[in-house]
Amino acid sequence: MAEFLNFQCDCGSVTGTVACGSAFFRNRVMCYCDDCQAFVNHLGHEQSLNAFGGTDVFQVSASQVTFTSGKEHVKCLKVTPKGVHRWYTDCCKAPLGNTIGAAWPLVGLIRSSIVQDLDKVVGPISGSVFCKYANQPIPHDIKGPSSHKRIVVTMVMKLMIWRLLGKGSPNPFYSAGKAISKPQCLADEKD
C-alpha cells in the first residue's frame, strides 16, 4: 500500500497529499445524496458522478490531508444554509471534497481529484449511502457490501475516536476554527 496519495484540481494549480493510514483511518464510500449531486452539477463537473449519480468519496481524518500548492484557489460553498462545507477550486471549478465543519475531524475527498487509482491503492468502496437519491435503480454489485446504516454507524464511531486521538487537527480547510474561504450558499444565490 502506498503511504500517500496525491490530489489535485483539473488545471494542476491546487495540489495536495493525503496519508492513507491504516484501514481504521479511512473509508471509501459512494454517496448518492442530492446535496453531493447539486454541488458537482453546480460546478459543471458531472464527470465526478457515476452512471447512477453517485459521488465516490475517500474519507480520512483531517490531519491526513495537506495542501502542497495553490491553497489560495480553494473555495467553499454550501448547497443549503445548514449543509456541509463543500470545497472546490476557483482556478478550474474542480470539486475537491467535503467537510462537516471545523469541529469535525472528517475530510471526504472526491475520487476525481485523486491522482492514483483508488481501486488499486485502497480497494473498493465499503458500500453506498443515500441510495434513494440515485437517478436510476443501483444494481446490488455496484452498491458494495455495507448498508447505509452500517456505514453511518461505523463512521460516527471512527469520528469519535479520531477526535479523541487529535486527528481533527491540523485541518487544512480551517484556520482558528474558521473556514479558510467564507462558505457561499447556493440557496442564497437563487434568491
Which range touches Zn ion (CB under 5 A), out of 29-37, 101-109, 148-156, 158-166? 29-37
Cα distance between residue 118 and residue 97, in whole Å = 15
89 binds Zn ion (CB under 5 A): yes
**5, 20, 33, 49: residue in contact with Zn ion (rule CB under 5 A):** 33
Cα distance between residue 117 and residue 43, in whole Å = 23
Cβ distance to Zn ion smaller for residue 9 or 20: 9
Binding to Zn ion, residues 131-190 (CB under 5 A): none
Cβ distance to Zn ion smaller for residue 120 or 132: 132
43 binds Zn ion (CB under 5 A): no
- What's at 107, amino acid-wise? V
Expressed in angstroms, the distance from the first to the final Cα of the chain is 48
Beta strands in 46-117 (DSSP E): 55-61, 65-69, 74-78, 85-89, 95-99, 106-110
62 binds Zn ion (CB under 5 A): no
Grid cell of 149 as nine digits: 446504516
92 binds Zn ion (CB under 5 A): yes
Residues in contact with Zn ion by the rule CB under 5 A: 9, 11, 13, 31, 33, 36, 89, 91-92
